[in-house]
Structure formats: C-alpha cells, structure tokens
Structure 1
Amino acid sequence: MKKITTILTILFVTTVSFSQQIGDGLAPGIDNFNNPLSSGLYSGLNPIGRIPDTSHIWSHLFVIRHGNLNNHFQLQIASSYVENERLFFRKLAGISNPAWVELATRGANSFTGNQIIDGDVVIGTNNNVAKLTIQASPDGFPTPLKAISIKGPNSPENANSARDISWDFAAAGSASIRSYRGNNYDTYLQFLTNPNSASGNVPQTRLHINDDGNIGIGTTNPQNKLDVKGTIHSQEVKVDMEGWSDFVFKKEYNLPTLEDVEKHINEKGHLENIPNEEEVLKNGINLGEINAKLLQKIEEMTLYMIDMKKENIEMKTKQIQLENTVKEFINKLK
C-alpha cells in the first residue's frame, strides 16, 4: 500500500510540475464524477460517483484522461473538503465505474472491502516473529493494557451475539474461542473443538466460563466454581476442610449404643448422618464432607471394637477363674 501511495504522489507531482495553469486556476464544479472528464482538477457538490467519505458535501477530484478522446480511461484521485487524511483513488475503463479504493495514510484510516496482505503484519515493533506480531506497550508500561479489541454487537443478546476467533484447517474441522454477551453487562467465554467422529465441521463447546467465574467442562451451565460432566483422572486431589471427625475420641462424645445403631438401620435403611441412596443419586456427594462422616463411623466402630475386646478379656478371665474353681472342687472330691 505504501508503494501505491508513493507512485501516486510522484505521478501527481510530476503532472503538476509539467502542466500549465487550467483556466483561472480554480477547480470547476461538476455534478457527476462518472462522466468522461478531461484531465484536470474538479470539485463536486454531492456528485454522482462521489467518494465514500461523506464527512463533507463537497469533494476534490484530480483526473488524468487517456489521450484518445474515443477512450474513456481515467485515473481519478479524490478527497473531501474536510481536513482529514482520507484519500481515495479509482481507475475507470470504458463505461464501468468501479468503487473507490482508500489509500493508507499516516493518520487514522477507514477501509471498505477486503484487505489482503501477503506477508507478516507487525504492530508497534520492528521485530516480526509471526504472521501477526503485536508489541502492546514498551517495558514498564502500566497494566492491564488492551492489546487486541474485538467489538461485539449490542444486539442480539446471549448466544446469538457470539463472536469467534477460529482456527480453520483444510479437509478437517476447526477450533475456536468464542465470546458472547448476556442481556446486561454479563459476558461469557467458551473454548470449542471439532470431534474426530464428526462428519463435518461442527465444533462443540468443551469449556465454558460464566459471567460469575463458574467454569464448566462438558456443561454450559456450571453452578459451582468448577462443574465437570465426565470422569476426572488425577494423581492427587486436595480438599480443604473446616473440621474433622476426631471429636469421636473425646470423653464428652456420646457414643450411640449398638442397639440404637441397629434400630436406626431397621427404621431408615442407612447409617445415621450418612445420606441415603435417593439423596446421593439426586444431589451427589460432597467429597470432603462424606469422607469426614465415613471417618466418624470408622472411629465409632473402633470404639465398639475396643469395648468388645475389653469384654472378651473380662469373659476369658472369668472363664479361667471358673475352670480353676471347678478343678479345686473335683480335687476335693477325690
């Protein structure tokens, strides 16, 4: 684009340098930029074929016309009367009137149509390390700093407002990062991949982040900080606890009798303070809580076993004493 700008600038300067003043030196006003025009300078008030810059109703026009009057070949360069850096050009051939093309300038630029770049795009740095390299800020610049902004719509809302950053592969599916807005200030983020079993390109949501920070894997409606629909395989899981079950071993703990335990089982069909099957199937289990409750039952069982051991020792002692008494009695009878 810089090369085109340079060529047009040289062409413009050369043409002006070797031309004579046109009329009184003022650009005549015309109402149609599409008509066959002679080489020269013109101005137009909302003319037909005007440039896309509508910031002013008047436009400047510079025309270079083919030397053969029978041919309608022109190079046109135009801009509006407004003090901005927007400059447009187009080439007319015959009766065709192509759209205007905006030239890149040193200021802010607004383009219409596809912009194709064969090469790397480097922003804010001279060190290009990829197809798109962005130096967001110099070292020491305060953060956070928005390096890339993708504008989304105000309407429609929810999933219909989704905008994707997509990786598309030839003869395969795509993967994408998707964001969309809710019906207020809430926003959502998703990560999608295409399954190998798919017959076409149908990316599916694998990870979903809610506006409240809840994360869902395999679900788009997480109700907790992390909801996973599927199997989790891990080397280690650490659960923070607010209490533990060692209170069972304290003297003031009221250990239920085995009769009470049996009665509860017969009436309820499960151990006391342990959720029943219906509750577990409906609500799942809290890993930390259920481990604490199971440990409580293990510690209670340990106390029962200690008591049973003491009773067994006492019974054996009494049995030995009874056997000795019987032996003494038999010896006296002899």
Structure 2
Amino acid sequence: MKKNLLLTFCLLLLNIHLNAQWQSPVSLDNLNTWSSKSGFISWYNHTNNGPKAAAYGNGLQLALSGDERFGAQIVIPTFTDQLLFRRKSADAWNGWNEVWHSGNLEPLNFMQKKVATIKDALSVNDFKNGYTFAYATSGTPWNGALMSFGGLNGNYDCQFSTDYGPGGGSRISFRTQNGDSNTVLWNPWNELYHAGNINKADISLVCKDLLANGNLWAKEIQVASNNPWPDYVFEPAYEKLSLTELESFVKINKRLPEIPSATEVMKDGINVGDMNAKLLKKIEELTLYVIELKHEVDNLKKDTKQK
C-alpha cells in the first residue's frame, strides 16, 4: 500500500513537472504573480505576499484545468518545518493556512475528549483540559456536557456544566479554580441567566447594581429606603414654609423645595425611594395647607354670620 501511494505521488509530481510552465523553480518577486499555469516556484530575500513573513522558500503552484483563474500554492519556508497553502478564486488570493503535522501539533495544547463519561463522586475536580459527559454524581450541578479549560500549571481551570434535558435543557453553570494556595480549591458553581431561564418563577436575583438601558417590566418592586419616612410632617414641632414663602420660592426656582430641577434629573436621574419620600412629604405639607385654609374659611364664614 505504501509503495503504491509513493508511486502515485511520484507520478503526480512527474506529470506536474512535464506540464509545468517552468521546468525548474522560478524565483518570484511577489508570490501573487500568477502565470495561469502550474509550476515550481520559489522566493528569495523578500516577504511580498509570502506566508509567516518568511523571506525564503520553495513550493508548487497549481492551476485549474479549464479555468486557470482558479488554483493554489503549496509552499515550505526555507528555515522552518511549516507547510502552508492558499487558494486562488476568480483572480483573488485567500489567506495562508498552515498544515498541522507531527512536528507542530501538540495534543496537550488542544481540548480533547478524554473519556466518554465521568460519574464517580468528586471526579469532576480532577477533570482538566478536555470535554466529556458528566453525571451530577461526579460533582457537577447538571447531567450533561462538561468542558474544562485554561489552567496555568493546571491550577487555575474554568469549568462549564450544561443540562442536556432533565432540568429543562436550558441550564448552564460555571466555576473557577483558585490555585493561589498550596491546596488548589474549586470555587462554587454559578448558574448563568439567559432568555431561557431568567423568567422562571423559581429564580431569585440578588445584586448590588442593576443597569437597564431600556424598559424594566415587573409585577411588583419593593424599594428599601435609608431616609426617614416623612410622617414627622404631622408632628406639632414641624415647621413648614408659609404659603407666602412657598409662593416666593416657586416664582424664583420654578420648582418645589427639596425637589430636584429638570436639569438635575436629566443629568443624574432620580433615586426612586428618596423621590417617593419627598413627594409624600409635599403631599403631607399640602394636606396641612388645605387644613389651615379650611380653618380660615370656617372662621370667615363664622365672622360673616355674626355680622
């Protein structure tokens, strides 16, 4: 079998040689030079459209029989063990591609399927640089695909665990490994939220800051407030502005006291809890003004009747 393959390859090279435009390698000043025929090529002391910025090399140029606008180049830079190729399509060259071989392919640098499944207790903690199917008994949150990658010196890996169906088929969790101490520790699993699970009734979110550049829809929102609720307005010792003072303030500032201006709101927004407290305070003050006016009206009515 090997002899037949070798003979076939030799015949192919012989056929190319006999039908080539050049019977010996021709040095090209630019590898994009296209003669519309197959042949041996080389380049010397330049990097014009060559691969990997290599200044020297040899190779083959192949043209498509019947339509010589299409073809390919296969080259080997002189001072490396790299084999590279690219193709030409309708007068335009595509990028260079490197061929992997035993001299440049290191399996440990690539993720691989190491075992079909893992299921033993805590076996997920020892699974590194690969992918497999993991049962939850191994220590993953879900039954499904498991991927482990990264890992400086094998001590800082990241793992993703996915649910293939029993949990709804839309769950995915991740965790990281902390290798700073002598004892390498796995951090807890965290579930990712997305369109497939964020609306579930059993999901509770706790976060410090939530930024929404758009509409926020909710059936109920409860806002905690650190400011005192303004029931103190109804305390006898509370002093509010007189209506005359309030009128003067509004004419000058075009807003109510303690309420931010339109310019401030446009720039900084509002604190919902704080604003609700301020608005309630104004309503309570307004209630006191109405009560006072009611007393004044009643007194006026009383004086009118006495006259």
Normalising by structure 1, we get a TM-score of 0.38
Larger radius of gyration between Structure 1 and Structure 2: 1
